[in-house]
Every structure is written in structure tokens, then in C-alpha cells.
């Protein structure tokens, strides 16, 4: 059993951001698993996606139910084997899980007001810069690998472009070289639901003692639909009606209501929305979805991903999932093609898992064995 | 140029509804185009989908921009030729476009209060019953055809089951035998956005002088995403940034904002949401999405669509669109298969149009020529 403990590092010097703004006097929350070897060659950085944190693997000593979000992938004897690798999970700036974010005090505020909506817009590239500073402080010059799924995969890709000499291998799972119009559209609807919630108060809801829960619920419900495949939703919920013990007798028939729960998929979504609204920060949601929207390395190269990926020097593993309609396999193949155009060493696996985008978090055997092999060969390469 | 004029028919007798409730003293708004022939054999009923009405074709005399929602399909010399057929468009109960709906006075209210959230839940089958009564009053025993797209296609299918002897042919476009869990999920998110809008007041917002516009906007934005294909969104908007005359200089770069419009897809969705919230009724939105959710003819037959469609006696044309991910071709094929299982006469066209679900409203040549041929053969069959 891997026991995790959360750490934090303070950074006083301003970090310049892509927007032109900067952020200073910030904290990064992180965790590490395994042991850094003598020549510091076995470090693996894990980048997180929208609704996750630096708590990647293991459990906290006093909380047996607190398994990290990628605990099936990372740990002793697991595909990313912490008996061989020194794994680092880091929480991104703007998050609500430990690193400095919108609900923390603005260092320039005389009376300790929190950032709220004034937290600067952060991008994937900004996060990578912040992560690089953390590695500097940990004394790690070169990563054996950087790895992430979804938005985390974008960070892994960005690492190979911003710090090509510092990354031996990059593992980019269920990701994309940028968002499509449809992806942006879903993000925008979620943001509008939050921003137009009367409890949002322009993002300064903290000082009003409110939380825009209505908007967060809607945002989460939309997100959930896009994480799952149509097939897995049909398999899991189909058109089954809600059924509680009390209502068992009645649950075989419609109750003909526009506002009450009628189908199980409705109660599932409502439950997920309620849970999320209880712990997630609305400004963080806006920031993270915007970071997704903005990521587009080809943009400065007239749309040429091949030109954009030319600086990369790492080896790559890309993994996609057939039923992922949010970041479809075709999007991973665009990255593969652009890397091959640049004569990079690329492995690519397209996994026929039924779970949609969520598959990257689950423990499909074929998926895990691809990652396991890739890290076994990396272990041999770095001699651990 | 076809000149349309809206008519209305009053029905005093209660209409029993599937829920067990009934509705009495209601109006149905309708329009007709063309001329009913001597033996009353050339009537075509058009059923509408979510955001449409009885104004199917032509323009109103004083409003040149008021073309009906299926004007490309229906009119003199068009695929459904009003020189041969007598076409009827009818607005469904619960709508906000003329027939009795939530914003009309409840006949049992002493002080003329509107129905609001007390409007009874209506189903596809209820609408078909109401349409049948309208036809009775128009003296039409048998329809040459009943036709609809999306939710309208569900009504056309239901006609062949509830009144098999009254329908010669059914044209079911971009439809499905029921909603998937994902379809219901999208409807539910839209409904939650409306119901949790503080201006909704449990559906009795009329008496509060408010309109739940925030919720309606979100509902419409979600809807729009599901009507379009990913491809057509990318072709139309891609990742283009907003650009106004004032901002032309700045529009080649991000402005790094979480709340302002950054991408064109965002301004498009916001515009569509605003427009919709100005004219659509929130209770109608709930009722119509619920009618979609509830439609499931196979439900009373243990899920067997083949058993459910056994009563049908019509000939059928089904049309689907390859890029429609809301009601995908596979859903139409389920209906085709169930009809073939029953040895029915079925034609089926799967059109490779790029426009997603919206394609059923557009004038793709291949689509229109299929419908044109089908109605030409129907014209020969009924001798018009």
C-alpha cells in the first residue's frame, strides 16, 4: 500500500504568464512516490486534467478511501512502477485543490481579499513553466517521462516543446492538439451556466458568502455527458426508470412529470452535479476550461502542427480510445502524424474500450499493458 | 409564392391524455396549403419538432421574411407539391406558437390564471390523438401521408400505430424509435438549467412578471450543439476568434479572458441563446423535451420494436443523415428493420450530408429528390 502525503512549495519570484500578466508569491501543492535515484534520471511527472489534483496515487495514512485519481496506473508494481520510478504529481496554478488559486488571498491585497475573478488567466504553457520551476527546486534536470491524460496530455505535449532537452519520453493519453469548435462550445455553455448564476457575482461570490452551485451543477452535468460514450451510457442506464425502495411498485411506469426525476440517467447526473458543486470552485472551472480552449501549439505556425512539433526531441507514446468522442482517436492521430513528419520516435495505441473519454482513468488491460511495456523499456533505458 | 394564413379550431370536449389527466376547451392552430380533392384522398399532415409550429410553408401576406420552417420542402412544385397535395401543418398542444399551452388561461381557473407549470404532461401519442380530432373536423378520414422530422418523425410513426387505417404512407426523417440515455441526458441538463433559474418560480413565472431567460439560453445552447455535426461546426467556426469591426486589429490574438467572448463559436451560441430566450416559453420547453423522453413504442412490448410496429399498415419512407449524432442513422435502421420484420413496404435513404441533425431542415438535393420521388409515386397512387 502506497502512503501519500501532500507537500507544498512556495515560489516568491513572479512567474510571467502568456497573457502578459504574472503571478508571484504562489504555492504549488505536490506529492511524490518512490525514490529519486542517484543520477536523478528516474523522475516521472504526472500532469492532471480538469477535475483532479496532485494526489495521483496511493492513499493518505488516515483515509483508506482516499486513493489518488490515477492509482490504478501508478504505484508499486503498477504500469508506472514506483519501485523503479520517482513519480511527481503536481497541482496546477488556479486549481482549488491546494496550489494557489482564485480562493487564495491576493498578495497585493492590503486586507487579504482573495483573488476571485481577478486570478490571472493561466494556460497549459504557464502550467508547464510552473512545473519546470518545481523540478528545478527538486533538483531534477531531466524527466524520464512526462505523462498525462486529456488536458494532462496537452501539458505533456507542451513540455516536449518548451523544454525539449528536459524530457526523455512523453506519454499523451486521450488528448488532442487543440479543441474543436464543438469542444469549445461545450466549455462555453458550462461557463455561461456558471457566470449567469446570480450567485456568481462576477466571480467575487466569496465576499458575498454565496457559491454559484446552480451553474456548477449544470457545468458538471454537461461535462459528464461528454466524458462517457453513448454506448456505455446505454449499457449503464439505458432508459431505466428511477427506482427507490419506496417507489419499487411504481417504478415500472412513467409518472409523467417535467420536473421530477423519471429516468435513472437523470438521477445519476443530478447526483454528480450536486457532489461537484459542493467541492469545486467556480472560478477554477472557468480558468481550467479556458486553458483547454487556448491550447493550440500550431497556432503560431499558421495551423501547421508539423511545424509546431519540430522542436520536440522526446520519444512519444500516444494512446486514444475508440469510443472517446470528446478527444477522438483522429485527434491523437494528428499528433502522431505531425511527430512522424518530424522523424520522431512515436508509439501509438488505439484502444477499443467502451468507456468514452473516461477510459483513460480506468484500468483496461490492453491499455495498461501498453503503458507497462513502455515504462519497462524506459526503465531499461535509464537503468532502473 | 405560397401565401399562408394561420387558422384555429376550438375543441370543447376533453381529450384524454396518456398520463390519465385530460385537457378540455383547447385550441389547435393550423395552416393548410393546396386544395383538398373531391374524394379527400390527397391530404398530407406535417408534424413539427421541438422549436417549430404549424407555419410549415409559404409566407404570411404582409411579412415577406416569414417563410415556414419547411418551406424548402413544401410548396408548389416542391418535393411535397401543394399543386397536388392538400398539406396541413398543426401546432401541438403545449406549444407557445398558437395552440393551447402553458401561457394560456386554465379553463378551470375562476380568475383566468394561466396554466404555467400546471399544463398537463403531453406525449407524442396525445398529440397524434389531438391531430386526429382536427382531421375529423376537417372531414379527412384518410391521410395520403403523414410526415415529420426528428420529434415530428416520432409523431408520424405513432400515427401508423394509433390510426393504422387512416395513413397511406408515413415519412419519418432523422428520427428514432426512442431516446438514448445520452439524448435524455442532454434534455435533462437543459431542463435543470431552466428549472433552477431563480426566475422560473416553479413554472409560475408569468405571475411574477419574470422569464427564466438564463435557463432558456443555456437550454438552447446545448440544443444547438447537438443539432450540428462536429464537422460542420469546424467548417463554419473552427477556432476562429471573434472579430468585430472595432476589434479587427486585435482579433488575431487571444485576449485572455474567462468571461468575454473569445471564439466565434461562443458568440454564435450566445446569440442563438439570447434570441431563443426572447420568444420561447420555458414550460413549453420542459413539456416538449419530456414528450421526446417518453416516446418509446416498444416499451409496452418488452422492448421489442418489431412487436410494437406490428399494427402499422402504411408504406414507409425513412431518411437519416450520416453526420446526425443526435438521431444517428443506426436509430432509423432499427425502425427499418422492425418494419421489415413485419413485412411492411419500407424505403430507406441514408444521406451523406455534413450538417448533422439540422440536415433534415435543409435542402440537400439528394434528400429532396428522394422525397420528391416518393411523393410523385404517392400522387400516382391516389390519382392527383
Catalytic residue among A54, A357, A358, A364: A357
Q: Active site includes A324?
A: yes
Instruction: Count CA atoms within 13 Å of residue B216 on its CB side.
Output: 23
Indicate whether B344 pLDDT > 80: yes
Cell triple for A193: 451556466
What is the band of A249 on the pLDDT scale with cuts at 50, 70, 90? very low
Cα distance between residue A116 and residue A207, in whole Å: 9
Is residue B249 scored above 50 in pLDDT? Answer: no
Q: Any CB–CB contact under 8 A between B179 and chain A? A: yes
Q: How many CB atoms lie within 10 A of CB A40?
A: 16
Q: Are B30 and B9 in contact (CB under 8 A)?
A: yes
Q: Is the minimum CB–CB distance between A294 and chain B shorter than 8 Å?
A: yes
Report the residue of chain A nearest B200, measured CA to CA. Answer: A259
To the query of whether residue B118 is one of the catalytic residues in this protein, the response is no
Q: With CB atoms and an 8 Å threshold, state whether B218 touches A189.
A: yes
The reported pLDDT for the residue numbered A247 is 52
How does pLDDT run across B164-204, given as a tens digit for each residue?
Answer: 999 999 999 999 999 999 999 999 999 999 999 999 999 99
Q: CB distance from B88 to chain A under 8 Å?
A: no
Yes or no, beta carbons of B195 and A256 under 8 Å apart = no
The nearest alpha carbon in chain B to A188 belongs to B266
Band (pLDDT 50/70/90 cuts) for residue A250 is: very low
What is the total residue count of chain B? 384
pTM: 0.96
Cell numbers representing residue B129 in the block: 390523438
Q: Report residue B250's pLDDT band, with 50, 70 and 90 as the boundaries.
A: very low
Rounded CA separation B133/B24 (Å): 13
Cα–Cα distance between B190 and B274 in angstroms, integer? 15
**H-state helical runs in chain A:** 124-137, 151-162, 181-195, 213-227, 230-236, 264-279, 282-294, 305-308, 329-341, 365-382
Out of B185, B192, B325, the one facing A218 most closely (by C-beta) is B192
Average pLDDT over residues B360-366: 96
Q: Is the pLDDT of residue A277 over 90?
A: yes
Task: Identify the sign of the CA torsion A188, B222, B349, B360.
Answer: negative
β partners of residue B31? B89
Residues of B in contact with A237 (CB under 8 A): 181
Give the integer Cα–Cα distance in Å for B234 and B258: 22
- From the number of C-beta atoms within 10 Å of its C-beta (0-12, 13-18, 19+), residue A371 rates as buried
Residues of chain A positioned with their CB less than 8 A from the CB of B121? 256-258
A151 reaches B (C-beta below 8 A): no
- Out of A180, A256, A269, closest to residue B189 by CB: A269
Q: Do residue B294 and residue A254 have CB atoms under 8 angstroms apart?
A: yes
Give mean pLDDT, residues B319-342.
Answer: 98
The answer to whether the CB atoms of A192 and B283 lie below 8 A apart is no
- Per-residue model confidence (pLDDT) at position B244: 53
A258–B121 C-beta distance less than 8 A: yes
In contact, B234 and B177? CB cutoff 8 Å: no
- Catalytic annotation, pick one of B81, B296, B324, B358: B324
Give the three-state DSSP class for A140: coil
* Residues with Cβ within 8 Å of residue A317, at least 6 apart in sequence: A169, A170, A171, A172, A346, A347, A348, A349, A370, A371, A374
Report the residue from A188, A239, A286 with minimal CB separation from B296: A239
pLDDT by residue (tens digit) across A290-337?
A: 999 999 999 999 999 999 999 999 999 999 999 999 999 999 999 999
Q: In the numeric block, which cell numbers belong to residue B171?
A: 415519412
Which residues from A are below 8 Å from B234, CB to CB? Answer: 180-182
Percentage of chain B exceeding pLDDT 70: 97
What percent of chain A clears pLDDT 90, i.e. is strictly above it? 96
Among the options B41, B53, B150, B175, which is catalytic? B150
Q: Residue A56: CB partners within 8 Å, gap ≥ 6? A: A31, A33, A46, A48, A68, A69, A70, A71, A74, A87, A89
- The residue of chain A with its CA nearest to that of B222 is A189
* Interface residue B232 vs chain A (CB under 8 A): no
ipTM of the complex in this document: 0.95
For an interface test with B, the pick among A16, A189, A254 (most B C-beta atoms closer than 10 Å) comes out as A189
User: Residue B11 to residues A91, A233, B235: CA-CA distances in angstroms?
Assistant: 64, 42, 48
- Reply yes or no on whether the pLDDT at A17 is more than 70: yes
Q: Does A283 touch chain B (CB under 8 A)?
A: yes
Say whether B150 is catalytic: yes
pLDDT, position B81: 98
> Does the distance separating the beta carbons of B184 and A265 come in below 8 Å?
yes
> Of A72, A89, A59, A79, which Cα lies nearest the Cα of A152?
A89
CB-nearest to B222 from A189, A203, A258 is A189
B194 close to A (CB below 8 A): no
Residue B242: per-residue pLDDT: 86
Name chain B contacts of A265, Cβ cutoff 8 Å: 181, 184-185, 188
Amino acid at each position: 500500500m502506497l502512503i501519500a502525503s501532500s507537500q507544498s512549495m512556495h515560489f516568491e519570484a513572479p512567474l510571467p504568464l502568456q497573457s502578459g500578466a504574472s503571478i508571484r508569491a504562489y504555492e504549488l501543492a505536490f506529492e511524490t512516490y518512490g525514490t529519486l535515484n542517484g543520477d536523478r534520471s528516474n523522475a516521472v511527472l504526472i500532469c492532471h486534467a480538469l477535475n483532479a489534483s496532485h494526489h495521483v496515487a496511493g492513499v493518505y495514512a488516515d483515509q483508506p478511501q482516499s486513493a489518488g485519481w490515477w492509482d490504478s496506473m501508478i504505484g508499486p508494481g503498477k504500469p508506472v512502477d514506483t519501485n523503479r520510478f520517482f513519480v511527481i504529481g503536481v497541482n496546477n496554478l488556479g486549481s482549488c485543490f491546494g496550489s494557489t488559486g482564485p480562493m487564495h488571498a491576493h498578495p497585493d491585497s492590503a486586507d487579504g481579499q482573495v483573488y476571485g475573478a481577478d486570478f490571472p488567466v493561466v494556460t497549459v504553457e504557464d502550467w508547464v513553466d510552473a512545473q519546470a520551476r518545481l523540478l528545478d527546486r527538486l533538483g531534477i534536470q531531466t524527466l524520464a517521462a512526462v505523462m498525462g491524460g486529456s488536458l494532462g496530455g496537452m501539458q505533456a505535449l507542451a513540455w516536449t516543446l518548451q523544454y525539449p532537452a528536459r524530457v526523455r519520453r512523453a506519454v499523451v493519453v486521450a488528448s488532442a492538439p487543440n479543441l474543436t469548435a464543438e469542444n469549445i462550445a461545450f466549455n462555453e455553455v458550462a461557463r455561461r451556466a456558471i457566470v449567469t448564476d446570480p450567485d456568481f457575482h462576477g466571480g467575487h461570490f466569496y465576499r458575498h458568502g454565496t457559491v454559484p452551485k446552480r451553474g456548477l451543477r449544470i457545468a458538471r452535468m454537461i461535462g459528464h455527458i461528454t466524458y462517457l460514450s453513448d454506448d456505455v451510457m446505454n449499457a449503464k442506464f439505458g432508459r431505466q426508470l428511477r427506482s427507490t425502495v419506496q417507489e419499487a411498485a411504481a417504478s415500472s411506469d412513467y409518472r409523467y412529470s417535467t420536473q421530477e426525476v423519471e429516468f435513472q440517467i437523470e438521477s445519476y447526473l443530478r447526483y454528480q452535479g450536486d457532489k461537484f458543486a459542493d467541492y469545486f470552485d467556480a472560478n477554477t472551472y472557468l480558468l481550467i476550461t479556458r486553458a483547454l480552449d487556448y491550447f493550440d501549439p500550431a497556432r503560431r505556425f499558421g495551423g501547421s502542427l508539423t511545424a509546431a512539433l519540430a522542436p520536440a526531441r522526446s520519444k512519444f507514446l500516444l494512446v486514444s480510445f475508440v469510443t472517446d468522442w470528446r478527444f477522438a482517436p483522429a485527434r491523437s492521430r494528428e499528433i502522431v502524424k505531425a511527430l512522424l513528419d518530424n522523424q520522431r520516435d512515436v508509439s501509438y495505441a488505439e484502444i477499443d474500450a467502451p468507456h468514452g473519454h473516461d477510459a483513460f482513468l480506468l484500468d483496461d488491460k490492453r491499455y495498461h499493458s501498453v503503458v507497462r511495456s513502455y515504462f519497462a523499456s524506459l526503465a531499461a533505458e535509464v537503468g532502473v
